[in-house]
Amino acid sequence: MPHLAGRTYPADSKVKGTWIGFSWSHKKAHFYRSILESIAYEYRYYFRIIKELFPETNYSEVRVIGGGSKSNLWNQIKADVLGIPYVQINEEDVGLIGLAMTVAKGVGLIDDISKNIKNIIKPTVKYEPRDKHHKYYQNYADLYEGLFKNINPTFFELSKISELPNPQELGDL
């Protein structure tokens, strides 16, 4: 669970990061990859909710920006977990571009926002989901979602305990 500062959605500040199921055979690379995978499982959870809320919408790809979009490994993991292509694009500040297009439309400089954005924002790298990997990840993603139901009481108790003074504050250490 990658939630070092609490879970974003549903919002729960008591949820913290944890690893479950590791052994002596696991190395730093396994822990690093597990962080990437757990965030991808979180994205799958959000994506499932979005598809439930808007079942009539056809989702053909995810366009990705930001720091994580630079990782080939992470983009491939997210494509495999979600079962949908992940696409890097040539622009980072898409919000500013969208705002500029909206203003240009509003003042009559352009007629079609979508057409003009397509002229600026272009896909650069596409990560296709791999069926074998997608099937592999689904059991782990299901288990990940189920963990919250089982571990939430522990996080609740931990939050109560962590509110108590620690020995350093008591001057015992």
Taken in order of first residue, the domains within the chain and their CATH numbers are 28-160 (3.30.420.40)
* pLDDT tens sequence across 74-93: 999 999 999 999 999 998 88
pLDDT above 70 for 49: yes
Question: How much is the pLDDT for 9?
Answer: 79
pLDDT above 60 for 1: yes
pLDDT above 60 for 117: yes
* pLDDT tens sequence across 57-71: 999 999 998 888 889
In contact, 62 and 78? CB cutoff 8 Å: yes
pLDDT above 70 for 151: yes
Rounded mean pLDDT, 20-36: 93
Rounded mean pLDDT, 42-48: 94
Query: Within 13 Å of residue 168, how many CA atoms lie on the same side as its CB?
Result: 0
Question: How much is the pLDDT for 41?
Answer: 95
Q: Is 75 left (phi over 0), alpha (psi -120 to 50) or beta?
A: alpha
Query: CA-CA distance, 52 to 68, in Å (whole number)?
Result: 26
Residue 128: alpha-carbon gap to chain centroid? 17
Q: What angle do CA 51, 53, 57 make, to 5 degrees?
A: 50
Confidence category of residue 171, pLDDT binned at 50, 70, 90: low
Confidence category of residue 113, pLDDT binned at 50, 70, 90: very high
Query: CA-CA distance, 50 to 61, in Å (whole number)?
Result: 14
pLDDT above 90 for 95: no
- Alpha-helix runs per DSSP H in 54-127: 72-82, 94-106, 113-120
